[in-house]
Structure 1
Amino acid sequence: MRGRHSAPDIPFLGRSFALGRFDGKTALVTGASRGIGRGIARRLAHDGALVAVHYATSQDAAQEVVEEIEKDGGQAFAVGAELSDVSTVEAMFGALEEELEKRTSATSLNILVNNAAVGGPPTLPEDVTPELFDRYYAVNARAPFFVAQRALALIPDGGRIVNISSGITRSSQPDQIAYAISKSAVDQLTLHLALHVAPRGITVNTVAPGRTNNQSPIFSNPKAVEQMAQMSAFKRVGQPEDIADVVAFLASADSRWITGAFIDATGGTLLG
């Protein structure tokens, strides 16, 4: 692991920050094979954490993230689970514990980032099917709850849970109603779980991205990107690193006095 006091600053996608913040810490980032989750996994690893890179179906993409982290001098490994099926959560944690034991001689998990989610094309309320609603709810609401429930057996006192929600839960977009409902459940997970685990010094917070480049095909369309950029006070779309920086703060000791919070990371999209 890196030296806490002697490590230099290094560039991370155009910026710099001190290494070593998470030396000796372990983290699980769900949905980390691409997009925001990939950015979070890379940032936590750059800051010294041993990161479990979760994927649902794309093992190759997850392994690429692991290789990127290792190339940069960090530590990571991949774990897979299709979280729409809650029965896979236990198997994922079994693999996680095995890797942690192998690498650290313990199974402690210091940081959990519930990032995995599914979305879809605009769908008006009258067109939402039970199957679509159930798919959103299974991955975006039910899975984070049971992942957090299982993780609490591994998280030591003073640990961190960060749940990734969406700015859409604080605005109105009727053609995303099913997605917004499922993400609103994440906000409630944070609020209630934060009070429950506070006696252990564990913090639980929500980060809500706005329009962020998650490598979906729409972000290769310049016209669409320009339209999305106009929604932000800064007139640009977010990048995964914008969200990863916020998550890294909430995962650190610096955020010890913040819990149950909803952090607007939409680039000012909700201002007006």
Structure 2
Amino acid sequence: MPLLPAAAGNRGKNMALSLARKGIDIVLTYHSQQAEAAATVAEIEALGRKAVALQLNTAETGSFDAFYTQLTSTLHVTFGTDRFDFLINNAGTGLTVPFAETTEVQFEEMLNVHLRGVFFLTQKALPFLQDGGRIINISSGVTRYSFAGASAYGIMKGAVDVFTRYLALELGARGIAANVVAPGAVFGGGAMPDTPEMRTYVAQMTALGRVGLADDVGGVVAFLCTEEARWINGQRIEVTGGMML
């Protein structure tokens, strides 16, 4: 069973459904999209799996102890266990601002959501994560290629890539594998403007000649939670269709 922060959006929902199709029960979280999270739970249950949605703001590290207390109760009551198998750090926000115009407030927001929250949510998850489990951190293609206006976002995601390698090293004694999934431009319910012009622009930069969709990402995340992926550890798997090669 995974703990999947930020599964109310289109990409997170696709991850959750991909996991459910592999026979996996899910605890998912949402920040403000309660109705969307409830709809995702209903779709998972329609596939014959159990699911629960809990509220969580991953930018507020001070709320994590209370969240894990609630999670402990949920695990016992709904799933009859005190552990989960997979942690998938999917929470994220977008920011496109030139470096010279980026404010400290904007930088701090990126830091809290994309790095500080990931670091400490994962740290506090360790007592609840099964030995032999998996951690999957969602990064971005912009840690390999660069776009003007993405410096603050890209810095945080680059730090997540490095952090994941340290997780793989330090948690290996427990048999826990940690990997990064790095999507490119993904359309459909995300922060990127979904216009014909933007789709054409992105498709022209992609070796496969089309834009990325949420369906392109969820299956990769689900695969990393299978037994077939047991020997993949400390790796960054880019899911961009070959952008800017």
Bin for the TM-score computed over the shorter chain: over 0.9
Provide the rounded CA distance (Å) in 2 between the counterparts of 1:219 and 1:68: 27
What displacement does 1:40 show?
A: 0.6
Provide the rounded CA distance (Å) in 1 between the counterparts of 2:198 and 2:130: 44
Say if 1:207 and 1:264, in contact at 8 Å, map to a contact too: yes
- Residue 55 (str. 1) matches residue 30 (str. 2): yes
Task: Give the match's secondary structure for 2:238.
Answer: strand
Does the C-alpha gap of structure 1 residues 229 and 196 become closer, same or farther in structure 2, counting only changes over 3 Å?
A: same
TM-score after normalising by structure 1: 0.86
Query: Is 218-227 or 132-141 further displaced after alignment?
Result: 218-227
Identity score, percent: 36
Letter in 2 for 1:133: F
Provide the rounded CA distance (Å) in 1 between the counterparts of 2:10 and 2:156: 20
Match of 1:236? 210
Query: Is 206-215 or 131-140 further displaced after alignment?
Result: 206-215
Provide the rounded CA distance (Å) in 2 between the counterparts of 1:239 and 1:70: 24
Task: Give the match's secondary structure for 1:269.
Answer: coil
Letter in 2 for 1:248: A
Letter in 2 for 1:145: F
Say if 2:188 and 2:194, in contact at 8 Å, map to a contact too: no
Match of 1:196? 170
Provide the rounded CA distance (Å) in 1 between the counterparts of 2:190 and 2:92: 13
What displacement does 1:151 show?
A: 1.2
Number of equivalent positions = 245
Q: List alignment gaps of at least 5 residues for structure 2.
A: none
Letter in 1 for 2:8: S
Letter in 2 for 1:161: I
Q: Equivalent of 2:45, from 51, 56, 70?
A: 70
Letter in 2 for 1:184: G
Letter in 1 for 2:105: E
Q: List alignment gaps of at least 5 residues for structure 1.
A: 1-25
What displacement does 1:229 show?
A: 1.7
Letter in 1 for 2:206: S
Determine which structure has greater relative contact order: mean sequence separation of CA pairs < 8 Å that are 6+ residues apart, divided by chain length. 2
Q: 1:1-272 alignment to 2 at 5 Å?
A: 26-120=1-95, 122-216=96-190, 218=192, 220-271=194-245
Provide the rounded CA distance (Å) in 2 between the counterparts of 1:235 and 1:219: 19
What displacement does 1:217 show?
A: 6.7
